[in-house]
Amino acid sequence: MNELNLTLLLNIIKNKGNVLRLKREKLSFRQIAEFTEQAVVDGFITYSDNKIILTELGEEFLELHLPATKKKNKAEWIEPDIKNKIKPYPKNEVFLPNRSEFSF
């Protein structure tokens, strides 16, 4: 199990977040389910009253590894909008876009 993905999973569980954060890390829902089951087996999380909660071991692991998940470089967490990128035109040319070509 990848430490980064486990840390993200534990943080999502602790903050009652959304698993789409793990989807952005290129994980499938099946892999997320497998990570969750492995975290239960390893003792990081447990089921209690139809809820998933962190154990003490999970809390300690999260406190230790959470600072490593903070992305400080904007290029890592902001994806460029490539589909709406316009090719450069010369300075003396005027660009008039067709409204149906853009999604904004």
Q: For residue 103, what pLDDT is reported? A: 65
Is a pLDDT exceeding 90 seen at residue 93? no
pLDDT tens string 16-66: 989 888 888 888 999 999 989 999 999 999 988 888 999 999 999 999 888
Question: Where are the domains positioned within the chain?
Answer: 3-84
φ, ψ for residue 65, nearest 5 deg: -105, -10
Band (pLDDT 50/70/90 cuts) for residue 98 is confident
**Class for domain 3-84, per CATH?**
mainly alpha
Q: What is the pTM of this model?
A: 0.66
Q: Is the pLDDT of residue 102 over 70?
A: no
Q: Going by C-beta distance under 8 Å and a sequence separation of 6 or more, which residues neighbour residue 54?
A: 10, 13, 14, 44, 45, 62
